[in-house]
Amino acid sequence: MQVKFGTDGWRAIIAKDYTYDNLKLAALASARYFLQHPNSARGVCVGYDTRFMSKEFAQYTAEVFSSQGLKVFLSNSFASTPAVSLYTKAKQLAGGIVITASHNPAIYNGFKVKASYGGPAHPEVIAEIETILPQIDPQTPVVPDSKLI
C-alpha cells in the first residue's frame, strides 16, 4: 500500500496498511516538511489516543522525527487532539502529530498533521507532504538522538 493522505493526515486499517513500515514513510515525509518550517528549531509535538498500539506508534513516530534532527515533545500519556493543538501553538512549534483515527472504527489508526498554529494542516500542506513521500527511501535508518523529550 502506498501511503495516501486525506483530510489533515493519513488513516488506515491497523496491521493491513497501518504498519510500522508505512508509518515510517509518513513520518519521514512529515519530518522533511517540518525541517523546512521557520520554527523547526523549536521542534514538534507528538501525541496519541487510546486506540490499540497508539502509544507505540507515537513513540516510533517520535523516534523517526528525532532521527532526522527534530526536537520532539512526546506526550507521556494519551492526549486529545485539541491538547496537542494547544501545545503546538503555545510552544510555537513547527507542527504536531496526533496518532488517532478520530471517528473511524477501532480497526483504524491515523497520523493527523497539526500546523504550527495548532489547527489541522491545510490541504496545501498535506499536498506538499505527499509530494515528498515518493522521495523517501524506505531503508532510511531510524536512530533516535537526544532531541527526543
Residues involved in catalysis? 102
β-bridge partners, 18: 14
Strands (E), the chain: 9-13, 44-48, 72-74, 95-99, 108-114
72-74/44-48 β-pairing: parallel
108-114/72-74 β-pairing: unpaired
> Which segments of 18-80 does DSSP mark as H helices, in order?
20-35, 54-67
In terms of Cβ atoms closer than 10 Å to its own Cβ (0-12, 13-18, 19+), residue 76 is exposed
